[in-house]
Structure 1
Amino acid sequence: MTDASPSGACGASGQTTNITTSGSYWCSGVSSHDLFGNLINAGRLFISQTQYKYLISAIGQISNWSGHDSNNGNLHNAKNGWIQLNDYGSISGASYNWNLRQVNNNGTIQMCGRGDTGGSTYQIYSDLDLTNNGLISFEQYFSNYGSSFNIRNPTLTTSTGGANCYNNGAVRLINVNYQQVQNVYGSGCWQLGVGSTLYLQDGTGAYQNPTAGPSLPGQSIIFQDSSAVLHMDAKVYSRNSNFGAQVFGFGSGNAIEFYETISKFSYSGSTLTVTMTSGNTCNINLGSGYSAGSFFKARNPSKYTLFGYNAIFYNGAAPSRSAPAQCSLSAPICSNLGSTLPSTTATSSFASSTSSTVLSTSSAGAIVSSITSHATLSSSGTVSSSASQTTSGQALSSASSGTATSSLAVATTQSSSTVTSVCSFTSPYISTNTGTPYYPALATSYTTDPALTATTTSGQACPTTPENGTYCGFINPEDPCAPQPDGYGPVPTPDTASAFLAYPSLHALASAAPTVIASQCNTQYQQVFRDLNGSVSAQSYLGLYDLEVYDATVCAAHCDATNLCTSFNIFAERDPSLNPSNNDSTAPTVWGYYCPNPPSMTTFKCTLWGSSIDSSLATNTGSSREEFQVVITASDGYDRTNVTVPQDPTGSSTTSFSASTTIATSTSGTTASPVSTSSSAAAAASTSSWSTTHPWGNGHNCHGKAINASPYSMGSRFFPGGYNPQVCSDFALAQNAQNAASSASSKCEMFNAVYLHKNGKPWGTYCTLYSTSLDDSYATYSGGKSGSDQYDCKQSWTWSLRS
């Protein structure tokens, strides 16, 4: 049965709801869908807001279930039972809170949501023993925001007699930062998918572990994607140095993080041994076949902390090793529900197809993982161009993979990354930088480099041992009190934040900048604001360059050469010449530990944006780092968004899907560069061999109004970031390929790519597919309110299939 009523509930207090093998129950109405009483499920229970999901209308779904006696709060999900809480298409985070008496899962439980808006909560509590013999999957579709993801007992104890969690099946994590707060027993597997972090808090080793045994004894952990991370707080290994779970698939891109500072590490036989500066040791069974010399330590960048965590990486593919069968348990990844429930069963593999005209779950997963598997935004949904940091781990990643990433240590006026040009671009400026960063603190002799005090001649060893993946004389800017690069601008006297904000030399640069700059894309950049004390902060961020001179034409050239870029912001930033430290770090350093307010340097910065910008977005006014104050001035903004004709989207000669565009990713305070949207190296390799096709005619400008024609709609998707019609094309072509493979007659003949602003700020591209070509008479939606939020269409273009 289907219950499409608002706030439709499942079950009744004090009663048991029994869904048989052939039964399906679908709550598809808007808003909250709470559960009551007990549930025995051998069929299918789906909870969503599908019936009410029109354009940007549904806020985050809520599903609560609470019960603590024999008649309430007892879940038994049978072997073939499938429970899915699906909030894929709403405009904010989902909240699933199950506080139950007892949980017994032998089938599949999926909790799904957006992941790019923050606030998501997936929690399963069990008063009595919780037993998972099937698959529990926590999934987010667009990114991995939120940290309230856990399976646990409500009472945590260090003594005997308490309830426990037993995992004999699998727990799958996709784009979630999962927090484990107690020990878990059994023979199950933890599957770490794209964008996932298994964060083992101190409680993993302390709670429900009265004998101080290993953490996660008998469990397995498998890395299923190169972006997956395993994190351990100190008590995970301090009470017992032997980590209880076997680890499979640890290879390039993966990180094993530690809250403590790593002193040394070694690999022998099948065991990785990591020793901390505290003296604690952690022994991890990775299996045999690794090269001991290919392990290295670095900080792993994290959007949840400013500088990330100490971590162990491996430069190479994981050796082949058979994992337990539980590590292969799977179910279709959650996707947008159509007019019917998925026809596949929860026990099928990811690659299984469906006869539904709705895009199969495998293709849906490919779309989003290829576009957003590496995307990271700030917790507020915006990215600000504050003072940048980088790590030697980032530098190594760039060197070892062959994929250039822009880091502060190397990002000057010439980009180290390859960009997809949308114009005929010839650089008007040649950098004089030779590849070695410029360090103001060294140039002024405020500090000296111990690595350079010794001299070497050809053939001699470096006076200090470089970190893996770096070079002799490399300076890690994250080391306490380490010199910071690229401060080419003048510094006022006195060297204070207030003097910087009032500095006439900087204001003269901003005031002298041209009001119109010719673009090599047959348009012009118009100056939209001048000489502000703040830089742009928005969700359409594409990248950042440190410049040797304040020159808006150089910044314009970078925008011209970067796919999706239609606006830019150039400004001067007061940055510390040393990495501020106040005797509050234990990281190894040759620079000392006390420099809370070092002399400043002036950095000229150029940030690129995939949307229109204006003065209302110049909200990033700086920050404090220890006692040092970062501030911004001379901020000029330029825009050509409204006079830019988007590049016509392309296709490929294959029906397989992988987005062919490039996007840039960034965390607040981290320099970013365009990266391939392919979800894996293999996918990227296969993409390069495709022949490009041009299935669409020329784009048609709907002048900021979205097509509103629900009878012809075949579905829609939202992609955060800059305006990007290519992702809509990829979505449409993948849908058509899937429909053709399943003999479905429907075909997308036209798509509408709309760029939305949320509450006056750039938000992302909304794609809608239509079964026929429609004219301007259907372009009637310019925006509206949803709850307290205002949504406005800023760009709207349609493309129709060539006849």
Structure 2
Amino acid sequence: MKYSVIIAALVATALAAPAPNAQTIDFSNMDFGGDDLSTGPEFGVTKETIPVTKPSTSDIVADVKSDPASTKKARREVLKRVPGDCAPQPPNSGPQFDLGPTEWQAAVSAAYPPTNPSTLGAYTKVFDGLKGSVNQIGYRGLTTIQSYDITACATLCDKKAQCLGFNLYVERDPSLDPGVGCPNPSPITNYKCTLWSFPFLDGAADNTGETRKEFKVVLAASVGYVKPYVASNLVNFTSAGQNLYGSINAPLLDGVDTYMGFKNYPNADLNLDYYDPTVCATACDAQTAYSGRHHASTPCSYKACNFFDAYVVLKDGKAQGMTCTLYSVPWADSYAVNGGQKRSDGWFKTTNSYTYSNSRLPAPQFISVC
């Protein structure tokens, strides 16, 4: 195989000041999908651990072969509780507010006002004082703790691989599992800490409770924190190491479009419920191989994937999954200008945007097959 095109000149141009844009990414059409990905705990759960859904390299390659640089899928949500039959519930860890749901929320909000610190080590507070818990993909588990202690919740996240955020809240739970013989038992108060492998904003905290027989489960004093992903070099790819403002939006380069498309994870063929740029690296190489098998005979060359941007798309504050945008040449951080879009179907925001360049040499934009 013979390599062509002077890559150094192309990279130098790519690193120059931004030029008129050729690439356009419509976030509202970036459909994500997946089967049976957990979006949060059932009410009444006091402790559980959810393992990550990790695809194999062969699955990622097969997904690119079947659907290169594009996805058009939908996801369904899971997890709803089946009512019990008056079984005693685990002892509560919080103060006993023997009040109706509205009065209980007022009492808890007064006891734990939204005055938590804006930062906590590596974590940044994204909401405080809400009456709902986070409900999105990337759920890693729940622990009922003994006090309203954000440091304890952060410590649980730090100990969990792939954890990028936590949600601490107070929940009004029934003392008995509501059933025919006990439709509205006395309430108990629990402190619950949930862990998440995707970031989130306040819009994700929309799980506001449920009614079980006549008992109303409600929440209060909900606070959410997220922390940045710690980037490192990958096999054959070098990380820029920065959490960028937004995703890369690349112009034409000497009249050539270097943008090769995007892949969304999860999709209908491949589940992924945590942020992992190694998946993008595998997809980038798989896209190069796919292009080599499906290139046009004239000109007798094809684009090689030499750069990718791995980022998370939030819709109305909820993580939709990870997106990999693929390019034939590297682009500078100054092109990471796509911070989000306000559209008729929602507010889309990009976060956790990290870029990686092919570390193998030579790494031309086009590979000749003549």
TM-score range relative to shorter protein: 0.5 to 0.7
Q: 1:742 to 1:498 in 2, by over 3 A?
A: closer
Any stretches of 5+ residues in structure 1 without a counterpart? 1-52, 60-89, 93-115, 117-141, 145-194, 196-226, 228-300, 308-350, 391-477, 583-593, 651-693
Q: Is the 8 A contact 1:486 1:546 kept in 2?
A: no
Q: 1:540 to 1:775 in 2, by over 3 A?
A: same
- 1:360 aligns to what? 65
Q: Is the 8 A contact 1:649 1:725 kept in 2?
A: no
Q: 1:786 to 1:615 in 2, by over 3 A?
A: closer
TM-score (norm 1): 0.33
Matches within 5 A, 1:610-649: 610-640=197-227, 644-648=228-232
Question: What is the deviation of 1:739?
Answer: 5.8
In structure 2, C-alpha distance between the alignment counterparts of 1:555 and 1:480, rounded to whole Å: 31
Q: Answer with 1 or 2: which has the greater Rg.
A: 1
In structure 2, C-alpha distance between the alignment counterparts of 1:533 and 1:790, rounded to whole Å: 21
Are residues 1:733 and 2:331 paired?
Answer: no
- 2:87 aligns to what? 482
Question: What is the deviation of 1:613?
Answer: 4.0
Are residues 1:771 and 2:369 paired?
Answer: no
Are residues 1:496 and 2:100 paired?
Answer: yes
TM-score (norm 2): 0.66
Secondary structure, counterpart of 2:329 in structure 1: coil
Are residues 1:699 and 2:240 paired?
Answer: yes
Secondary structure, counterpart of 1:502 in structure 2: helix
Q: 1:737 to 1:482 in 2, by over 3 A?
A: farther
Q: Is the 8 A contact 2:316 2:346 kept in 1?
A: yes
Q: Select 1:55's aligned residue among 2, 18, 25.
A: 25
Q: Is the 8 A contact 1:540 1:609 kept in 2?
A: yes
- 1:66 aligns to what? none
Q: Is the 8 A contact 2:172 2:219 kept in 1?
A: yes
- 1:287 aligns to what? none
Question: What is the deviation of 1:791?
Answer: 2.6
Matches within 5 A, 1:552-563: 552-563=150-161
Are residues 1:508 and 2:65 paired?
Answer: no
Q: Select 2:305's aligned residue among 734, 738, 748.
A: 748
In structure 2, C-alpha distance between the alignment counterparts of 1:508 and 1:704, rounded to whole Å: 38
Matches within 5 A, 1:319-398: 359-361=64-66, 378=77, 389=81
Residue identity matched to 1:537: N
In structure 2, C-alpha distance between the alignment counterparts of 1:753 and 1:771, rounded to whole Å: 15
Q: 1:619 to 1:790 in 2, by over 3 A?
A: closer
Question: What is the deviation of 1:569?
Answer: 1.4
Question: What is the deviation of 1:628?
Answer: 0.2
- Flag the structure with more relative contact order, 1 or 2, with Cα contacts below 8 A and sequence separation at least 6: 2
Deviations 1:540-577 (A, max 9, x none): 54432222333211210121123343322111101112
- 1:802 aligns to what? 359
Are residues 1:517 and 2:115 paired?
Answer: no
In structure 1, C-alpha distance between the alignment counterparts of 2:333 and 2:225, rounded to whole Å: 30
Q: 1:789 to 1:615 in 2, by over 3 A?
A: closer
Residue identity matched to 1:595: C
Secondary structure, counterpart of 2:239 in structure 1: coil
Residues paired across the two proteins, number: 304
Moved over 6 A (4+): 740-744
Any stretches of 5+ residues in structure 2 without a counterpart? 1-22, 45-58, 267-272, 296-300, 361-370
Secondary structure, counterpart of 1:707 in structure 2: coil
Deviations 1:625-659 (A, max 9, x none): 1100111112222233xxx2533364xxxxxxxxx
Q: 1:378 to 1:510 in 2, by over 3 A?
A: farther
Q: 1:704 to 1:722 in 2, by over 3 A?
A: farther
Are residues 1:596 and 2:153 paired?
Answer: no
Q: Is the 8 A contact 2:84 2:178 kept in 1?
A: no
Secondary structure, counterpart of 1:483 in structure 2: coil
Percent of aligned positions that are identical:
31
Question: What is the deviation of 1:527?
Answer: 3.6
Residue identity matched to 1:503: A
Q: Select 1:608's aligned residue among 190, 195, 200.
A: 195
Q: Is the 8 A contact 1:501 1:632 kept in 2?
A: yes
Q: 1:645 to 1:480 in 2, by over 3 A?
A: closer
Deviations 1:685-735 (A, max 9, x none): xxxxxxxxx221123434224232471122311125554423322322333
Q: Select 2:264's aligned residue among 705, 715, 718.
A: 718
What root-mean-square deviation, in Å, do the aligned CA atoms of Structure 1 and Structure 2 show? 4.2
Residue identity matched to 2:230: P
In structure 2, C-alpha distance between the alignment counterparts of 1:780 and 1:700, rounded to whole Å: 17
In structure 2, C-alpha distance between the alignment counterparts of 1:486 and 1:735, rounded to whole Å: 54
Residue identity matched to 1:533: K
Question: What is the deviation of 1:609?
Answer: 3.0
Secondary structure, counterpart of 1:793 in structure 2: strand
Deviations 1:190-231 (A, max 9, x none): xxxxx7xxxxxxxxxxxxxxxxxxxxxxxxxxxxxxx9xxxx
In structure 2, C-alpha distance between the alignment counterparts of 1:498 and 1:788, rounded to whole Å: 32
Q: Is the 8 A contact 2:231 2:354 kept in 1?
A: no
Secondary structure, counterpart of 1:537 in structure 2: coil
Q: Is the 8 A contact 2:65 2:286 kept in 1?
A: no
